[in-house]
Amino acid sequence: MELHAHVIIIILSSIVILSYFFTLISNKTNIPSVLLLISTGIGIKYLSAHYGYVEKDVDVLVKTLGAIGLIMIILEAALDLDVHKKKITLVRNSFLSALFIFLASALAIAYLLQSWLYEPFMTAFVYAIPMSIISSAIVIPSTNNLPHEKKEFIIYESSFSDILGIMVFNYFLMDNVLSFSSSLAFLGRVGLAIAVSILASVLLVYLLSKMEHSLKYFLVFAILSIVYASGELIHLPALLIVLVFGLVLNNSPKIVIKRYSHKVPLRKLIGVIDFMKSITAETSFLIRTFFFILFGYTINLRVLIEPDVVFIGSIIVAILLFIRFLYLRLILKTNLFPEIFLMPRGLVTILLFYSIPASKKLSTFNVGILFYVVVLTSIIMAIGLIFYKKEDKARYLKTTEENAI
């Protein structure tokens, strides 16, 4: 049975309206809107099957929307971050948190998969990498009700987790992993990505400040997307380019000194930044909506309740929670609530899993484990945010002010 074109328009528009209401519900209840979107996708799948519609293969669409969504979400987050000397400690702590928790989680999960599936450790490690990455696509939109300092820490940590995870994943897809030549090539790619990041960011900011045509913002998005996709094709950490561009653009009024103010008009640049934030947020909302609806559509609920999936998936989530607890409590020595619960797996996890080449595949791995980890970590985040009440927020702000004094 095929749908009429007008019916498809009504359905797509209804999904956008529904996603908007999910955002309102999320703001009131702290239930992440992405969890509601995934549930809606699952519901659409079973409703369409009930009414006789043929199930569609949407894997390619999920990958494409996921890649674009990742660009928009990282850009949206970067456009909210102010960089100055006072933030050095915050950036350092969030980077080290992302690095330590990611590596420790990946090693522990790889050891679990190796012991359970009797597979080579290096191949198991490739599968462990996606499940060790915090999803900025899920966690960043869920931080609206957090105090500013906690929100910034989560934004930086999840963004660094995405970037580090993608970099390490690309490295372990190389031949002769851990050899000197592979390590040297990897470091060269990172250095090239940093250089391209700075150059592309400066050029794009200059382009935005000079263009008079009103249709310039999606041109910049297109250029960013090309740079990102090209970087991924040659295994560059291209997400770093998107993050640096957002940071450079948002902080460009501080970067542009008086000597160059005649070349880059600050007043016009500030207007560009404000409009860029608005249109980025709108586009990110739209792409995120359809990505998580389609991701929910791909989930098979029967797979999620298989004994092996529940058992191994639960152990993996317990590992993730335990390592996060250890780092936040014993090393960073920070407040655990609600940060310990803000560790969802999602967009990057799914994209990297779909990108594993045939030569690195585990024939005995059940894909339901991946879906189970994504769903369960999102539910745990929802529980943490729901119990993060206003009095906790007020107490945190009061403590912060007292410490500052």
pLDDT at 165: 85
- The answer to whether 81 and 250 are in contact (CB under 8 A) is yes
Distance in angstroms (rounded) separating the CA atoms of residues 67 and 348: 8
The token duo for 99 is 């690095």
pLDDT at 129: 92
- The answer to whether 239 and 70 are in contact (CB under 8 A) is yes
Distance in angstroms (rounded) separating the CA atoms of residues 332 and 94: 9
Question: CA nearest 223: which of 241, 236, 210, 240?
Answer: 241
> How many other C-beta atoms are found inside a 10 Å radius of the C-beta of residue 183?
14
pTM for this prediction: 0.77
DSSP 235: T
Through-space distance between the first and last CA atoms of the chain, rounded to whole angstroms: 68
- The answer to whether 182 and 171 are in contact (CB under 8 A) is yes
Distance in angstroms (rounded) separating the CA atoms of residues 274 and 264: 16
CA distances from 359 to 337, 355, 381 (A): 41, 11, 34
Distance in angstroms (rounded) separating the CA atoms of residues 303 and 371: 9
Distance in angstroms (rounded) separating the CA atoms of residues 381 and 31: 8
- The answer to whether 266 and 256 are in contact (CB under 8 A) is yes
- The answer to whether 230 and 271 are in contact (CB under 8 A) is no
- The answer to whether 45 and 53 are in contact (CB under 8 A) is no
Distance in angstroms (rounded) separating the CA atoms of residues 9 and 12: 5
pLDDT at 248: 76
Question: CA nearest 386: which of 337, 331, 325?
Answer: 337
Classify residue 293 as exposed, middle or buried by CB count within 10 Å of its CB (0-12, 13-18, 19+): buried
Q: How many contiguous H segments (helices) and E segments (strands) does the chain have?
A: 17, 0
Rounded to a whole number of angstroms, the CA Rg of the chain reads: 22
pLDDT at 128: 92
Distance in angstroms (rounded) separating the CA atoms of residues 317 and 6: 43
CA distances from 162 to 93, 265, 304 (A): 16, 34, 25
The token duo for 41 is 């996708």
pLDDT at 399: 53
pLDDT along the chain (405 residues), means of 10: 71 86 79 82 81 71 77 75 74 86 93 87 89 83 75 82 82 71 75 77 73 69 76 68 76 61 62 77 83 82 84 92 87 74 83 80 84 87 76 52 50
CA distances from 356 to 126, 301, 349 (A): 8, 23, 11
pLDDT at 391: 47
Question: How many Cα atoms are found within 13 Å in the side-chain-facing hemisphere of 230?
Answer: 11
CA distances from 254 to 157, 183, 208, 210 (A): 24, 36, 16, 18
pLDDT at 306: 85
Tell me how far the alpha carbon of residue 64 is from its chain's centroid. 15
pLDDT digits (tens, 9 = 90+) for 305-343: 888 889 999 999 999 999 998 888 877 776 677 778 888
